[in-house]
Amino acid sequence: MKFLDEAKVYIRSGDGGNGCVAFRREKYVEFGGPSGGNGGRGGDVIVEVVDGLNTLIDYRYQQHFKAPKGTNGMGKDRHGANGKDIVLKVPVGTQIFDEDRTTLIHDFTTLGEKFVLAEGGNGGFGNAHFKSSTNRAPRNANPGEVGEERWIWLRLKLIADAGLVGLPNAGKSTFLSKVSAAKPKIADYPFTTLHPQLGVVNADGREFVLADIPGLIEGAHEGAGLGDRFLGHVERCRVLLHLVDATTDHAGKAYKTVRAELEAYAGTLADKIEIVALNKIDAVTAEELKKQKERLKRASKKTPLLISGVTGEGVETALRALVEVIGEAPVSNKAKAGAQAEPSQAEPWAMPPG
């Protein structure tokens, strides 16, 4: 399955059916009176959260959704049928924004949640509706109301309990593959991860969902590298695990680079609880490890954990630290299902401009 976390969609609800002007014409019945029926109501556009989805890829191939119009009223007091509603199915964690991309219309966080995005127009009244003691033969009817139309943006923010952040090649994908059944792409070049990955982690009998996102580089908030749009996928996390590569030139500077991007991001990521870990400790000497640890401690103002995603050293300690922050709140079943339904390689258009 391809991964897409943002899509622009045009929606239009159905117009209401027109009312009918008609009179009863029957042999031997004089002054039969008005018999025009009302028009049917137009179909609504409804957005529903369903299970089994973890991407907006369906809206890559279809961007226009129009609900059918209500049927016009007819003679013999026959009312028109209502137009059928159309349902846009989205994964949990989807947000709907107006065309300006800033006005939030609705945020879906619960499986099975529904939201009427555009209501269909009401049907017009037929002339039978206007009959009264003083108006015995009305010859007027109402047209149906016009439906609503608009362009919207669908934006997916994955739901996870904890998130991994760091520079490219900090070992985030290796860590995720070590602690869960997820199988992200792992290679020795930057930006191996092109789209978010989810994994279900079991630590001391406690399950939680861990999210891995593409690496951040200096200037990501200005579009450098893969940009910082993917940070939206860890906005809902309760805690961030910040991995710093022990083999980098200066662990403290690497930490500050990522922190600067988190603070520049338009959100609350910089205020989230952060656990700092020095990764790849198996690839450096004891003397270099001590030096990098001190640099990272000065930069982060906290004692970093020492871990190795390859050998597994210190991994359990990091997981226990995450569990301690996450607490005992049950993880979302949909988040677990999404983590187990791993998306495949992203297409070029699924990535932000860099």
The number of folded domains in the chain is: 2
Residue 173 counted as an annotated binding residue = yes
Residues 96-122 pLDDT 10s: 999 998 899 999 988 899 999 999 999
Residue 166 counted as an annotated binding residue = yes
Report the phi/psi class of residue 208: left, alpha or beta, with left for phi > 0 and alpha for psi in -120 to 50. Answer: beta
Flag whether pLDDT at 251 surpasses 60: yes
Flag whether pLDDT at 3 surpasses 80: no
DSSP 107-120: E--STT-EEEEEPP
Which pLDDT belongs to residue 123?
A: 95
Residues 296 and 179 in one domain: yes
Residues 73 and 144 in one domain: yes
Residue 192 counted as an annotated binding residue = yes
Phi, psi of 120 (to 5 degrees): -70, 155
Taking alpha carbons only, the member of 97, 160, 157 closest to residue 331 is 160
Residues 214 and 331 in one domain: yes
Q: How far apart are CA 129 and CA 112, in angstroms?
A: 39
Instruction: Report the SS3 class of residue 138.
Output: coil
Residue 213 counted as an annotated binding residue = yes
Q: Classify residue 188: in a domain, yes or no.
A: yes
Flag whether pLDDT at 223 surpasses 70: no
Cβ 117 vs Cβ 96: under 8 Å = yes
Residue 171 counted as an annotated binding residue = yes
Among 156, 186, 207, give the residue marking a domain's end.
Answer: 156
Q: Classify residue 297: in a domain, yes or no.
A: yes
Residue 152 counted as an annotated binding residue = no
Which pLDDT belongs to residue 342?
A: 47
Q: Classify residue 271: in a domain, yes or no.
A: yes
Residues 24 and 88 in one domain: yes
Residue 314 counted as an annotated binding residue = no
Among 139, 156, 173, give the residue marking a domain's end.
Answer: 156
Which residue is it, tokens 């939030």? Answer: 104
Residues 40 and 147 in one domain: yes
Which pLDDT belongs to residue 259?
A: 87
Q: Which residues pair with 240 in a beta bridge?
A: 163, 274
Residues 152 and 194 in one domain: no
CATH number at residue 282: 3.40.50.300
Q: Stretch 270-284: mean pLDDT, rounded?
A: 87
Higher pLDDT, 322 or 15: 15
Taking alpha carbons only, the member of 120, 107, 155 closest to residue 9 is 155
Q: Classify residue 231: in a domain, yes or no.
A: yes
Which pLDDT belongs to residue 349?
A: 35
Q: How far apart are CA 216 and CA 63, in angstroms?
A: 31
Residue 279 counted as an annotated binding residue = yes
Which pLDDT belongs to residue 229?
A: 65
Tokens of 219: 């200037």
Q: Classify residue 144: in a domain, yes or no.
A: yes
Residue 167 counted as an annotated binding residue = yes
Q: Stretch 119-134: mean pLDDT, rounded?
A: 93
Residues 128 and 206 in one domain: no
Q: Residue type for 247, please?
A: T
Q: Stretch 65-72: mean pLDDT, rounded?
A: 96
Q: Classify residue 15: in a domain, yes or no.
A: yes
Residue 141 counted as an annotated binding residue = no
Higher pLDDT, 174 or 225: 174
Q: Which residues pair with 210 in a beta bridge?
A: 162, 199
Mean pLDDT of all residues belonging to the chain: 83
CATH number at residue 109: 2.70.210.12
pLDDT above 90 coverage of the chain, percent: 36
Residues 74 and 182 in one domain: no
Among 107, 124, 156, give the residue marking a domain's end.
Answer: 156
Flag whether pLDDT at 136 surpasses 80: yes
Flag whether pLDDT at 164 surpasses 90: no
Q: How far apart are CA 42 and CA 298, in angstroms?
A: 64
Q: How far apart are CA 255 and CA 246, in angstroms?
A: 11
Domain that holds residue 104: 1-156
Q: Classify residue 350: in a domain, yes or no.
A: no
Q: What is the DSSP letter of 326?
A: H
Residues 324-353 pLDDT 10s: 888 754 444 544 454 444 443 334 334 343
Residues 144 and 172 in one domain: no
Residues 217 and 152 in one domain: no
Beta-carbon count within 10 A of 327 CB: 11
Residues 45 and 94 in one domain: yes
Tokens of 60: 């890559």
Residue 191 counted as an annotated binding residue = yes
Residue 3 counted as an annotated binding residue = no
Taking alpha carbons only, the member of 80, 58, 72 closest to residue 9 is 58
Q: Classify residue 351: in a domain, yes or no.
A: no
Taking alpha carbons only, the member of 126, 45, 121 closest to residue 90 is 45
Residues 126 and 234 in one domain: no
pTM (two decimals): 0.72
